[in-house]
Amino acid sequence: MVSGVNEEPTPSAGRGGTPLWRHVRDDLRGRLAQGEFVDSFPGENELAARYGVSRHTIRAALRELREEGLVTAARGRRQRPVGEAGIEQPLGALYSLFASVEAAGLEQRSIVRTLDVRADAHVAVRLGMEESTPLLYLERIRLADGEPLAHDKVWLLAADARALLDADFGHTGLYDELADRCGIRLVGGEERIHAVVPTPAERRLLDLPEGVAAFSIQRLGRTHGRTVEWRTTLIRADRFSVLAQFDARAGYRLDPAGSRFTGPARSGRRLDAVR
């Protein structure tokens, strides 16, 4: 039986003519609502053994739960409850997504889509430079344990970061390479995080199930006295959460929208965080 259950397994024939997969679906739905699968969700073989049914029956039940937005899984991967975000970003602290993915016991990999030098007037202005300033552009799909986690696009001043053209970003952190190859360490910045409904193209890119939202993250990264990075990241909300600490005296530090942050007119929280 599923963990924590003492009843007999679901019988091999449906009660009152009800298909077996519905019995399994309803039981799993109830257990999900009770928060039973916080640590892990059983695989198909385990569920089939515990319920005493075929894998075909289990797949039918899981398909219903996916359509209801209760569980999710990438192709070839085990199901997990929607909202089970295994990777946390602490607010107000220097932060590495690369390190946090591996700290969660997941393998960090990236698919590099683009790495080149180009001009982008819009980004150059954000960095406080002339519109024609050469920029190093890196675009990656960030993977955690082989599953898409985030679509990451970063621009750095080419004068600072041209040596990164020789780096292999398949399994390395950007900021580690920036420090080792270019002698630049980010010490702070400003970041805005807000929830979005991904477009169909973005869902395909991140293998994101229908009904699951994403976080849009915009960041200006700074070293001592100057801005060196502009980054936009779309990250799956079912795998990522934001953690804040507060106390009665300090509370949260909030800034009005637009305060030194040249972005959309939305309210946001300032933080010194890098990834």
Domain boundaries, the chain: 15-81, 87-243
Amino acid 167: pLDDT:
95
Strand partners, 243: 90
CA angle centred on 76, ends 27 and 35, rounded to 5°: 30
Q: Do domains 15-81 and 87-243 have the same CATH topology?
A: no
Q: Which residue has the higher pLDDT, 265 or 244?
A: 244
Residues 124-172 have pLDDT tens digits of 999 999 999 999 999 999 988 788 889 999 999 999 999 999 999 998 8
Strand partners, 117: 136
Whether the per-residue pLDDT at 275 is higher than 50: the answer is no
Among 20-24, 92-96, 263-267, the range with the most confident prediction by mean pLDDT is 20-24
Interval 241-252 mean pLDDT: 66
pLDDT band of 271, cuts 50, 70, 90 = very low
Q: Which residue has the higher pLDDT, 69 or 157?
A: 157
The helix (H) or strand (E) run that includes residue 46 is: helix 44-51
* C-beta of residue 188 within 8 angstroms of C-beta of residue 223: no
Amino acid 172: pLDDT:
85
Q: Measure the CA–CA gap between 27 and 5, rounded to whole angstroms.
A: 10
Of 160, 44, 147, the C-alpha closest to 101 is 147
Asked: is 15-81 a CATH 1.10.10.10 domain? The reply is yes
Starting from the edge strand earliest in sequence, which strands make up the sheet with 147-157, in order?
108-119, 134-144, 147-157, 226-236, 214-223, 188-196
pLDDT band of 6, cuts 50, 70, 90 = very low
3-state secondary structure of 211: coil
Q: Which residues contact 197 (CB under 8 A, 6 or more apart)?
A: 213, 214
Amino acid 266: pLDDT:
34
Whether the per-residue pLDDT at 35 is higher than 90: the answer is no
Whether the per-residue pLDDT at 91 is higher than 70: the answer is no
Whether the per-residue pLDDT at 254 is higher than 50: the answer is no
Q: Which residue has the higher pLDDT, 204 or 73?
A: 204
pLDDT band of 237, cuts 50, 70, 90 = confident
- Burial of residue 115 (CB within 10 Å: 0-12, 13-18, 19+) is middle
* C-beta of residue 156 within 8 angstroms of C-beta of residue 178: yes
* C-beta of residue 78 within 8 angstroms of C-beta of residue 58: no
CATH architecture of the domain with range 87-243: 3-Layer(aba) Sandwich (3.40)
Interval 71-94 mean pLDDT: 54
Residue matched to tokens 């080792």: 180
Q: Which of 64-78, 143-157, 174-188 has the lowest mean pLDDT?
A: 64-78
Residue matched to tokens 């009005």: 256
Q: Measure the CA–CA gap between 119 and 112, rounded to whole angstroms.
A: 19
- State residue 153 phi and psi, 5-degree precision: -130, 125
